[in-house]
């Protein structure tokens, strides 16, 4: 798919590397925030809901990447 879009192979690794590095730093921060959360729906559910919405938006953006780009 990336080759059909005309994206060079070398550039396809950049998002993967950046996402891994960001995840390396954000995972402990989000874990600490969820441990301190005092929501009435639970400690983990607000984070699960927010991250689920972010994943849906990301999937929609990937689906329409040809139109967006």
Q: Are residues 3 and 32 in the same domain?
A: yes
Q: Are residues 53 and 26 in the same domain?
A: no
Q: Are residues 28 and 45 in the same domain?
A: no
Written as six digits, the tokens of 23 are 């995840």
Q: Are residues 22 and 52 in the same domain?
A: no
What confidence tier does 69 reach under pLDDT thresholds 50, 70, 90?
low
Phi-psi region of 56 (alpha: psi -120 to 50; beta: other; left: phi over 0): alpha
| pTM as predicted | 0.61
Structural domain including 51 reads 41-68
Q: Give the Cα separation of 33 and 59 in Å (integer).
A: 25
Q: Are residues 2 and 32 in the same domain?
A: yes
Q: How many domains does the chain have?
A: 2
44, 34 contact by CB (below 8 A):
yes
Q: Are residues 46 and 32 in the same domain?
A: no
**What is the tens place of the pLDDT at every residue in 4-57?**
777 777 777 888 889 899 999 998 998 899 899 888 998 889 999 999 999 999
14, 20 contact by CB (below 8 A):
no
């Amino acid at each position: 798919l990336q080759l059909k879009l005309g994206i060079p192979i070398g550039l396809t690794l950049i998002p993967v590397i950046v996402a891994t590095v960001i995840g390396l730093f954000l995972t402990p921060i989000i874990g600490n925030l969820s441990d301190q959360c005092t929501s009435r729906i639970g400690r983990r559910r607000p984070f699960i809901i927010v991250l689920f919405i972010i994943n849906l938006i990301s999937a929609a953006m990937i689906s329409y990447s040809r139109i967006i780009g």
